[in-house]
Chains A and B, each alone.
Chain A
Amino acid sequence: MTKLKPWLSLSGIGVFAVLLLAVAPLMLTDHWLNNLGKYCCWAIAAVGIGLAWGRGGMLVMGQGVFFALGAYAMAMHLTLETAGDRIPGFMVLYDPLAPLPVFWEPFRSAGFTLLAIVVLPVVLAGVLGYALFKRRVKGAYFAILSQALAVALATLISSTIRETGGDTGLSDFKYFFGFVLNDPANKQLVFLIAATLLIVCLLAVWQLYRSRFGELLVATRDAEERVRFLGYDPANVKLVAFVVAALMASIAGAMFVPIVGIITPAEIGAAASILMIAGVALGGRASLFGPALGAMAVGWGQSSLGSTWPDGWTYILGLLFIVVILFLPNGLSSLPARFAAMRRSPERQTVPAVAAAELEEVRA
């Protein structure tokens, strides 16, 4: 559909942009605007997951890792900005005389921080992806190895209390690149940055899907061997999608910090990574808007249901996985097309593209 009517998707992004950038700030209270900002962050990460998983067939269960890279880079900078010339408060608590850890020092610079948010995930995803894809590690192996990395990183951060704040994480940021964070006007500014970044990511993915690369990525997902026989290296195609997804997760993490005001290992571990997947699955992994909208819906569900009824929320999340993946593997966004297909020929059952891809994998 995207292919036939590129202008339709593009105008969809336009409508989305108007809603987020103009309507939302006018209509919503500060509290809900801030929440919407948080959902935008998850949506940014979800757009990346949609690219890697939905289009590329790589189930990235550990996007928390890259989310963490961006988030902690940003949080370290904001912490240092708040602390000024002194050592950050939480460090003083554990050892008043110890110097600032060496790896914190460069994050005093705003430029270095912004660079780190972009470079760190690209380097890590590049190395990891190269190592795994070149050796043709895929499917469940890839999914669980990526989750293992998220678990390992979350444990590592939990245990390094003095360097990273441990389980309590980093919080109490007062400034955001010179702006006072408590000021509602500045909060609105931060929201607008996050929303703009989401629109930019959607545009980037829209362009990628239309490009030759997008075709290759889908081809790799559906028939990796054939792509290889045609003379392309599927590893490189997957690597690019994986790195772009990692970059988006990192950007999402970096914006999450000033909006939410805290980052802890709980926000990046296995559970958080699973939550991101849930949104993408709900919205429709292979569609353009599905991942973003799904992630926002799940984010909203978590903050409204999760706070009033945390037990029930976990049940709902579990059921969501089962029901959506069992009955609606291409998510809610596939419903209109399904209904249309049913109207045309009720008895015709089509195998979902993603399922077909995995069928291929089993046979191989």
Chain B
Amino acid sequence: MDALIAPLLNGSAQGALLLLAALGLSLTFGQMGVINMAHGEFLMIGAFAAYLVQQVISASNLSIPVALPVAFVVAGLFGLLLEVTIIQWMYRRPLDTLLVTVGVGLILQQAALHIFPSQGVPVEKPGWLDGQLNILGYQWPLRQLFTIVLAAVCVAALAAWLKYSSFGRRIRATVHNRDLAETSGIPTRTVDRLTFFVGSGLAGVAGVAASLIGGTNSQMGAQYIIPAFLVVAAGGIGQLKGTILAGWAVGVALSFFAYWTTGSLAQVLAFILVIVFLQLRPQGLFTVRTRSLV
């Protein structure tokens, strides 16, 4: 039984982190058809923001709660900057946008290497995240629980924002039919920018969570971008419930594969799993029903 529960718990936490990393990617992909390959670097920016916040309010239990909104805003602003300077000119050239953001990612990585020590920086784990919680007879490390709760809060907030706010309605309208939304007076360009801000901000939040689990260095974003995209692809474009389910599934699958084999073989197996899955459902778990010929 333990052989099943331990990877399941672990995988759920890993899946929550993947979900956080994929959330913003899925949002911007669904909204603008843009794959932002610098998304991983925005995650890195969030992690470094957490470190900088800790430099200011050191040795305090408050540092992480403060770091989360700071990371959201900082990464979001970087995203906004990217949208305004580059992405808006690449409109309707999705593959080219993908490549341009690869270039942006390279520059951000190198800049991080310049500014911060090359071995990375330590983000202090606050005391209240040590220790474990006993649920149903199993010991859950608080750090993993924190990731899961954080992911749940972000998903809930995003879902509520998309569903109930007027901006959320505009976003959904634009995703469904951009031309029609535009004709009915929705400022789609402004909607794009705000979406990009929120999507990138979510990457920043994911970065804070990642900094509590793994290392914080210039390479960390590159580790997350591919798994995050696999989650988006498996979940279906612009589908929140698909992304949630796929994030959890890929996390658990990775965890189980790593438990049975090795960490690196697990990555290959997860990749094969996603390919096989795309054979069964090429559009991902959930799809928007359209009449277009794809």
Please list the residues of chain A having a beta carbon within 8 angstroms of any beta carbon in chain B. Answer: 57, 59, 128, 131-132, 135-137, 139-141, 143-145, 147-149, 151-153, 155-156, 158-160, 225, 270, 274, 277, 281, 311, 314-315, 317-322, 325-326, 329, 354-355, 358-359, 361-364
Contact = CB atoms under 8 A, between A and B. Distances in A.
Nearest to A57: B95
A226 B92 CA distance: 20
A148 B102 CA distance: 14
Contacts of A361: 94
Contacts of A362: 33, 92, 94
A132 B29 CA distance: 20
Contacts of B110: 311, 314-315, 318
A326 B97 CA distance: 9
B172 to A, nearest CB: 18
Interface stretch (B134-142, B152-160, B188-196, B264-272): B264-272
Contacts of B99: 59, 277, 281, 321, 325
Contact of A152 (B96, B229, B267, B282): B267
Given A59-B98, A362-B33, A137 B282 contact: yes
Main secondary structure on chain A at its contact with chain B?
A: helix
A148 B154 CA distance: 27
Contact of B265 (A132, A139, A151, A156): A156
Contacts of B268: 152-153, 155-156
A156 B261 CA distance: 12
Nearest to B96: A325
Contacts, number: 136
B233 A144 contact: yes
Interface in B103-157: 103-107, 109-110, 113-114
Contacts of B29: 140
Contacts of B86: 322, 326
A315 B107 contact: yes
B282 A355 contact: no
A59 B110 CA distance: 24
A322 B104 contact: yes
A362 B34 CA distance: 10
A136 B282 contact: yes
Given A144-B233, A145-B278, 5 more contacts: A131-B279, A140-B94, A148-B274, A321-B99, A326-B100
